[in-house]
Amino acid sequence: MVAALLPVGCGSSDGLPGGRPPSPEEVIRVVPHDGAHGVGTGGRFEVRVPAGRLERVEVLRTGDAGRQRVTGRISRDGLTWRPAPGELAPGSRYTVDAVARDGAGHRAARHTTFTTSAPPGAFVGFFTPEDHTTVGTGMIVSLEFSRPIADRAAVERAVTVSGRPAVEVAAHWFGNQRLDFRPRARWEPGTDISLDLRLQGVKAGPDAYGTQRKTIHYHVGRDQITTVDAARHTLTVRRGGRVLATFPVTAGDAENPTYNGKMVILERRSVTRMNGRTVGFGGDYNIPDVPHAMRLTRSGTFVHGNYWARPGIFGGTNTSHGCVGLKDVKGGGRDTPAGWLFRHSIVGDTVQVRHSRGGRRGNTVAPDNGLGGWNIPWERWKRGSALR
């Protein structure tokens, strides 16, 4: 959630769509290139398709003013998207999500990121989601800084996370560039969360000074927990303790089981590409149009729609490379199991996986792989503060 350059993976090799569709890189071209760093604010920025038509382009900027949408427009012929003049800002991270159809009608989605150059010596803290977002009760407020922090205590003193009604909130560092905040237990529904950044002028190390003075607000919505039982091949959705729905699923296979433990929905995409090469599975799969995808880990674990699996897979066999798949149709159906879950979920909802066994993965998700901090006991979590 806090790192913009994230791999996407976890397709199933069982019943994959036949043939070779064009890759998203062939359908959708983005300049600057994916992962570019130090891009000048006066540089070229565009999204285009050689043939076909762009359907949707969404660009978000994360910088000293928080997370903001970038204004732009698709050309009349549908081939090019460009931002409004002066939209690129220094010291910012940009995420590009585009959906298009090529000249033969194949639909593809592409997600890329790049960062612009920052003033010498400056650092900022990147956060998501954007200001005034309604989040689930499992939300962990997470910051990733643009450079390593030498004086973590000074930076932690300048960052406050609080709730109304008031609740104890503690900080925990993961290395020297990531700082997370959470309460002892999940937030109560209706809580208003404030993230107060008073980093402007704060010295974090030799020639490293903060530039942000910003307060971000989140509102906690209803309490929803989704539980996946990998042994029984089921997914159960509870809201306020009441069961709303239970669906059959396919989880990670014996060699690549789904992580156990508590995870949090980091982002939601109506369609995305899943490519095994981005997460170490080589050419096992490359699916350009996975519908109703919700990310659970930075390493590429998703709950997503699956339209290519054979009948009987859902509820009967675990076949994926670690994701949790629900029945869906090509293009994404509104009332399919995957479509229903997508419509009823928000960023910050808790997803807990149980009874997933075997394979080369660690049994429980790492606390810094996404927002896995709920798997750390409270007293140990508090010991991760630089102010203890």
Q: Which residues are catalytic?
A: 304, 323
Query: What 3-state class would DSSP assign to 228?
Result: strand
Residue with tokens 């959705």: 237
| Cα-only R_g, the chain | 21
Residue 53 CA: distances (Å) to CA of 50, 82, 106, 111, 272: 9, 14, 10, 17, 17
DSSP H or E segment with residue 343: helix 337-343
Single-letter amino acid code for the residue at 290: V
Give the CA angle between residues 135, 138, 139 to the nearest 5°: 50
Residue 173 tokens read as 């560092």
Q: How far apart are CA 253 and CA 234, in angstroms?
A: 14
DSSP of 240-308, one letter per residue? TTEEEEEEEEE-B-SSSPPPBEEEE--EEEEEEEEEGGGGT-TTS-EEEEEEEEEE--TTS-EEEEESS
